Structure 1
Amino acid sequence: MRGFHMSKQVSTDGVKPVNILAVETSCDETSVSIVRDGKEILANVVSSQIETHQRFGGVVPEVASRKHVESITWILEEALEKAGLQPEDLAAVAVTQGPGLVGSLLVGMVAAKAFACAMELPLIGVHHIAGHIYANQLVHELAYPFIALVVSGGHTELVLVESEGQFRIIGQTRDDAAGEAYDKVARALQLPYPGGPHIDRLAHEAVEAVTLPRAWLEPDSYDFSFSGLKSAVLAVLNQANMKGIAIEPAAVAKGFQDSVIDVLVEKALRAVQAYGAQQLVLAGGVAANKGLRARLTARCAEAGVPLLAPPLSLCTDNAAMIAAAAFLKYRRGQFAPFDMKAEPLLKLEAWSV
């Protein structure tokens, strides 16, 4: 059985609810969710592996894969129980196809395929970043075209969403993603993993900031670069250590965060104006950063730009966002074959509906 692929348009006229069960295992969260009609979350079960990976100072791919194998079955059962549904109440099964850690992706892929095959349900492969962007659909009304600022541990991108499910990347990181830079700077400051929340907290406690550079790149570029900023932080710490000078970690954290946020916010607003976007949509794990949310809120208010941001529970990896994006494919009858492969380097534009 190869499954369903590019079938005819599916009716979503509201007579029968469309309940999509989604699986997300792209990194170190195991999650299963059931979402009705692309907007109503009936269940969103997430099992985090943070405590497991903290001792290593980062995600260990092999360990993450094993943890997904241990968790996926009971999480799937719990999602159905929380939603109060039986498998026959489902319309489709969605799963993160990529990008992500290949071992982690494979666990979710096998589980979703097995469930969909056993229940004779269509299968939908979902791009992880499309999920982050459409997490906003679960709580907001989206107006096209909009600019999405995607900021996470593995991605920092400006995406023009011209119409539903049509993506064009107009800017991306040339080296480290913002979240990756946060973790590296946190490690240099001897803060626990994951470093983002600790840097954010220290930055808010700081009374002054260490002056650090901003990487604006070419005048017309929407790309980002955080590797030089990370190196500048290490240089400040090394020089202080060599001179025997005590340097306040909070001041370093504030200087680093201010530099990251300045570039993210200003480039995002410039993109909104240049492309005539109706909204600025924030997405990704770093969207939970209080400093970023506060600065974006203030600057968007000044510029008269509507800002959408998901609640903190939908910023980090979760399956509800995968179900929300999957609904776009479901309505068009764009189902995946059962020999669909996990694609750790899957391109967002290639996934467009």
Structure 2
Amino acid sequence: MKRVRVLLLLFCSLLAGAQAKPSTPPAGKTGAFKFAISGDSRNCGDIVMPAIAADARAQGAAFYWHLGDARWLKGIDEDIANAKDAPAPSLEQYRGMAWQDFIRHQLQAWGDTPVMLGIGNHELYGNKTRQEFLATFGHWANQPWVEKMRLHDGPNDREPRTYFHWIDHGIDFIYLDNASHDQFDEAQMNWFAGVLGRAAKDPDVRALIVGAHAPLPDSFGKGHAMDDWPVGVASGRRAYQLLLDFKANSGKGVTFFGSHQHFYMPNIYNTAYWNANGGVLPGYIVGSAGAHRYALPGNAPAGSKTMVYGYVLGTADASGATKFEYREVYESDVPKNVRARYAPDFIHWCFAENGDRK
């Protein structure tokens, strides 16, 4: 009887320990911890995203992290206007169906690979709100491991938000919401500071990867970033400084990912400003999931690319150190079921003409 009681107590202890740790996304199919990141899938995203999904899944990505701007909303996405299976909608009709289109033609392309969906500024066009975003995309913006992480941090914190984090394979993945010009507000900054404080003390966290739609200020992409509004400059610099302090005090790695600019750019914070004001953090812009592509700035760092589509594939080792590879997708990668929805010349237009061509 005594042995049974001991075994029962041991079982309960193990069960409690398991419940205390938030769950994480399923491991990648190759056994290695890999994940995919990109943003800005408006305009031609219904064509490009399935190609990205197919490549990332073939690489064994455990999840995909979308950095916002799923659909245009300011105007009608070209991939909706030119689809053969439905007449072109009016702007009002389009705004009523654009998010369902994104779910059907982009999110579902990932199959059983989890998607973590961040909010971008275009999610708030057409008088849409954060509440509508969460109501529509709660499955992807508030995955079970995100919800459990939020409740783990604060048992009474039951309402999902458009900023969130989760821990997987020793990496704390943090998404910040800068989709409107009142951000980052104090509530989000306080939350962010709390997440960093806990991560610094947690021996199971070995690195941070921080994502947001718009890049933090003073990068090589400052022409279209948090530099565009006063609150963005002030709060974005505070957020960057918090990351510098975290790295200095904890010795743990930090990497930032943004989109908003429709190109690929590595090493975005090796600028004169950050070299003179605290230091350079690794950072990337990867806004190349289908949106109209922008010209690169004249001072773009080596390795920058535009008039391309693709995503970043991260591969992490047991220490939390992660290698990042930009993987392009090409017109020939568009799946057959997607090709069936469009005339061949429109698919070619998306790859050859959808951008500033510089």
Q: Normalising to structure 1: TM-score of the pair? A: 0.33
Structure with the bigger RCO (C-alpha within 8 Å, sep 6+) is 1
Q: When you count helix as a share of all residues, which structure comes out higher?
A: 1
Q: Normalising to structure 2: TM-score of the pair? A: 0.32
